[in-house]
């Protein structure tokens, strides 16, 4: 990483830390943006391996509902435990579904993920007694290390926890991508059979990536559930999965920061667009997506990178 990029990253984190003090109204939006950024990062991981999932919102929903259930039954009802617990639950789901999903490639992979996510969506909205059906479930405000707080104080803490996790997990994922395992994932995209000739199991490489990406989405879901205070079956709907892919591609999949840049950018534009053109939000999104694919194949992150280091990074359009 060049010095310029380190500088960019440090400035961005600093801005995130100061933002709520400077603009209190932005805190909720930024928490959501970071939560969705985690899910988009999960999608971006798979995209690096050339796998497109149009069902990844299901892991976001699983994380969110795991949090809701743990709060409802009072199990592990503490901020740190909730985040860890929901992430683990989602990771296990990802591992289980992944064992058969990662055998597939291209359109089949996309469609099978879609099928699983639609089954989950239908179950969440139909099993009224268990999940509250289409009304969803309320998520109460949990304690923070045994401290009972009011919602506003809790949201403050949650925001800084999210920013902290963003930095910590961002660095971890970066290390993963730079590791042999991360390079093996990229070679799934370029030439999977050669990878197997090297004695590396393509199945395990993709399964590990799939499980990590599910866990990331689950963590994002848990964050969203805690800050919104409500979970809905719509979290798992296929258009949400499409939005996650859109966020990842808009931000760029070349680096860990990409999906977060995409997510923050989208949430910010969303807030601005609500006043000017509330009915045209999807249209703006769609047009932005097309513009990025046509003119910026490496996403917003690619713009930064081009300035900093002219080496070619990975994009979706190749």
Partner 1 sequence: MLQSLLPLLIDGLANAALIFFVAVGLTLVFSVLRILNVAHGSFYSIGAYGAATLGLWLVSAGANPWLSYPALLLSAVFVAALFGPAIERTLIRWTYGKGEAVQILVTFGLFLILEDLQRMVFGVQSLYQDTPMTLLGITQIGNVVYLNYQILLIVLAVLVLVGLRLLIKHTRMGRLLAAVVADREVSEAMGIDTDRMYMIAFSIGVFLAALGGALATPTTGVAPGLGAETMVLAFAVAAIGGLGQIEGAAIASVIVATAKVLAVYFVPALDSVAPYLVMLLVLMVRPQGLFGVAETRRV
Positions touching partner 1 (CB under 8 A) are 47, 50, 52, 54, 100, 104-108, 110-112, 114-116, 118-119, 122-123, 125-127, 191-193, 237-239, 242, 245-246, 249, 279-283, 285-287, 289-290, 293-294, 316-318
Strand intervals (E) in the chain = 137-138, 230-231
Minimum CB distance to partner 1 smaller for 126 or for 151: 126
Least separation in angstroms between CB 177 and partner 1: 18
Least separation in angstroms between CB 54 and partner 1: 7
Least separation in angstroms between CB 122 and partner 1: 4
Q: Give residue 182's Cα distance to chain centre.
A: 18
Least separation in angstroms between CB 103 and partner 1: 8
The rounded distance, in Å, linking the Cα atoms of 184 and 186 is: 5
Minimum CB distance to partner 1 smaller for 82 or for 285: 285
Nearest to 47 by CA among 172, 213, 175: 213
Q: Where do we find the tokens 């590791």?
A: 179
Least separation in angstroms between CB 117 and partner 1: 9
CA dihedral (110, 297, 35, 156) in degrees, to 10, reads 180
Nearest to 231 by CA among 218, 241, 244: 218
Task: Name the DSSP class of 296.
Answer: -
Least separation in angstroms between CB 311 and partner 1: 21
Q: Where do we find the tokens 């933002």?
A: 19
Alpha carbon distances (Å) from 77 to 214, 218, 244: 22, 17, 28
Minimum CB distance to partner 1 smaller for 191 or for 201: 191
Minimum CB distance to partner 1 smaller for 39 or for 161: 39
Asked whether 51 and 188 are in contact (CB, 8 A), the reply is: yes
Minimum CB distance to partner 1 smaller for 12 or for 293: 293
Task: Name the DSSP class of 277.
Answer: -
Minimum CB distance to partner 1 smaller for 179 or for 282: 282
Least separation in angstroms between CB 46 and partner 1: 10
Task: Name the DSSP class of 278.
Answer: G
Minimum CB distance to partner 1 smaller for 33 or for 249: 249
For the chain, how many residues are written? 318
């Amino acid at each position: 990483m060049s010095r310029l990029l380190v500088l960019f990253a440090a400035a961005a984190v600093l801005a995130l830390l100061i933002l709520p003090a400077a603009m209190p109204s932005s805190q909720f939006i930024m928490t959501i943006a970071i939560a969705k950024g985690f899910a988009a990062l999960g999608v971006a991981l798979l995209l690096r391996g050339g796998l497109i999932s149009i069902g990844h919102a299901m892991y976001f929903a699983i994380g969110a509902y795991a949090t809701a259930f743990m709060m409802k039954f009072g199990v592990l009802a503490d901020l740190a435990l909730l985040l860890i617990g929901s992430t683990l639950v989602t990771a296990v789901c990802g591992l289980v579904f992944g064992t058969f999903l990662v055998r597939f490639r291209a359109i089949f992979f996309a469609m099978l993920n879609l099928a699983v996510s639609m089954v989950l969506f239908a179950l969440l909205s139909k099993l009224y007694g268990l999940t509250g059906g289409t009304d969803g479930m309320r998520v109460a405000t949990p304690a923070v290390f045994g401290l009972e707080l009011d919602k506003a104080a809790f949201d403050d803490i949650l925001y800084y926890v999210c920013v902290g996790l963003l930095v910590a997990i961002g660095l971890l994922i970066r290390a993963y991508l730079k590791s042999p395992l991360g390079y093996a994932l990229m070679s799934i995209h370029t030439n999977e059979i050669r990878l197997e000739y090297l004695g590396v199991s393509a199945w395990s490489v993709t399964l590990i990536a799939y499980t990590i990406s599910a866990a990331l989405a689950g963590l994002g879901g848990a964050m969203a559930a805690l800050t919104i205070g409500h979970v809905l079956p719509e979290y798992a709907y296929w258009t949400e999965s499409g939005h996650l892919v859109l966020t990842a591609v808009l931000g760029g999949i070349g680096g860990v920061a990409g999906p977060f840049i995409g997510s923050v950018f989208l949430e910010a534009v969303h807030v601005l667009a609500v006043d000017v053109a509330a009915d045209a939000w999807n249209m703006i999104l769609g047009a932005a997506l097309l513009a990025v694919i046509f003119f910026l194949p490496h996403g917003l992150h690619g713009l930064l990178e081009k300035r900093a280091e002219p080496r070619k990074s990975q994009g979706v359009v190749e």
